[in-house]
Amino acid sequence: MAKDLLNLRLQIVPPTSEYRYFPAIIQASNKSPNHELRIRRHNSRKNTTSPRRRKFRSVEGSILSIKRLLYYVSSGRLETALQLFDKMDKSDIFVWNVMIRGLVDSGMFQEAVEMYYRMQIEGIEADNFTFPFVIKACVGLKEGRNVHSMVIKLGFDEDVYICNALIVMYAKFGCIEESERVFERMPVRDLVSWNSMVRGYVLVGDGWSSLMCFKKMQTVRAGLDRISCVSALGACVLERRFLSGKEIFCLVVRNGLDLDPMIQSSVIDMFGKCVSVANALIHMYSKCGDLEAAREVFDTLEFKDLVSWNTIIMAYAIHGYGAYCFGLFSDMINEGHEPNGSTFVSLLSACSIAGLLDDGWEFFYSMKRDYGVDPGIEHYGCMLDLLGRAGNLERAKCLIEEMPLEPTSRIWGSLLAASRHHRDITMAELAADRIFSLDSDNTGCYVLLANMYAEVGRWEDVERVRNLMKKQGLKMTSSCSIVEHNGVTHNFKNHDKSHGESYAVYEVLDILSRMIGEDNLHSLGVSKLKLVESLKARGNSPMFHSVRLATYFGLIKTARGQTVLIRKNVRLCEDCHSATKKISLVTKREIVVGDSKVYVLGASSTRHRLGTKDADGSRRLKCGNRKARPKGLASHMQLCKK
* Domain CATH for 27: 1.25.40
Q: What is the pLDDT of residue 165?
A: 93
| Within a domain: 363 | no
Maximal C-alpha separation, the chain? 111
Whether 489 is in a domain gets the answer yes
Q: Are residues 70 and 97 in the same domain?
A: yes
Task: For residue 618, give the 3-state DSSP assignment.
Answer: coil
Domain-embedded: residue 316: no
pLDDT digits (tens, 9 = 90+) for 195-217: 999 999 998 888 889 999 999 99
Could you tell me the sign of the dihedral formed by the alpha carbons of 612, 614, 620, 624, in that order? negative
Where is 492: in which H helix or E strand? Answer: strand 488-493
431 with 562, same domain: the answer is: no
Residue 512 lies in a domain: yes
Say if CB 621 and CB 601 are below 8 A apart: yes
Residues 508 and 444 in one domain: no
> Which of 52-66, 413-427, 450-464 is the least confident region?
52-66
Hey, what amino acid is at 84? L
Domain, as residue range, for 407: 397-477
Regarding whether 439 and 572 lie in a shared domain, the answer is no
Tell me: do 499 and 618 sit in the same domain.
Answer: yes
Which pLDDT score is estimated for 639? 36
Q: Which residue, 85, 120, 153, sits at the end of a domain?
A: 153
Q: Which amino acid is at 56?
A: F
CB–CB of 161/188 below 8 Å? no
Q: Residue 456's Cα: distance from chain center in Å?
A: 40
pLDDT in tens, 82-116: 888 888 777 778 888 888 888 888 888 888 888 88
DSSP 565: E
Q: How many domains does the chain have?
A: 3
**How many other C-beta atoms are found inside a 10 Å radius of the C-beta of residue 317?**
26
Least confident range from 144-153, 398-407, 466-475: namely 466-475
User: What is the C-alpha separation between 335 and 309, in angstroms, rounded?
Assistant: 10
Between 169 and 26, residue with greater pLDDT? 169
Output 393-402 pairs: Cβ under 8 A, ≥24 positions apart: 393/418, 393/419, 393/422, 393/424, 393/427, 397/427, 397/430
The residue from 153, 172, 187 where one domain ends is 153
Over residues 572-625, the pLDDT tens digits come to 777 787 888 888 888 888 888 876 655 555 544 433 333 334 444 333 333 333
Residue 4: CB atoms within 10 A of its CB come to 14
What's the CA dihedral at 406, 408, 413, 419 to 10 degrees?
Answer: 10
Pick from 350, 353, 338, 347: nearest CA to 365 = 347
In a domain, 329, yes or no: no
- Domain identity same for 64 and 135: yes
Q: Is 14 in the same domain as 42? A: yes
The answer to whether residues 559 and 461 belong to one domain is no
474 vs 269, which has greater pLDDT?
474
d(CA 9, CA 469): 80
Q: In this structure, are 441 and 567 located in the same domain?
A: no
pLDDT higher for 278 or 528? 278
Are 467 and 509 in the same domain? no
495 and 453 inside one domain: no
**pLDDT given at position 597:** 59
More confident residue, 13 or 377: 377
569: in domain: yes
Measured between alpha carbons, how far is 390 from 357 in angstroms, rounded to an integer? 7
Given 153, 182, 198, which residue is the final one in a domain?
A: 153
Q: What is the pLDDT of residue 198?
A: 93
Asked if the model's pLDDT at residue 332 lies above 80, the reply is yes
pLDDT on residue 331 = 92
Under 8 Å CB-to-CB from 575, ≥6 apart: which residues? 542, 545
pLDDT surpassing 60 at residue 563 = yes
Closest CA to 305 of 279, 269, 273: 279
Q: Which residues pair with 480 in a beta bridge?
A: 493
Same domain for 586 and 459: no
Q: For the segment 147-173, what is each residue's pLDDT rounded down to a tens digit?
A: 999 999 888 888 999 999 999 999 988
In a domain, 98, yes or no: yes
Structure confidence at residue 343 (pLDDT): 93
The answer to whether residue 348 is domain-embedded is no
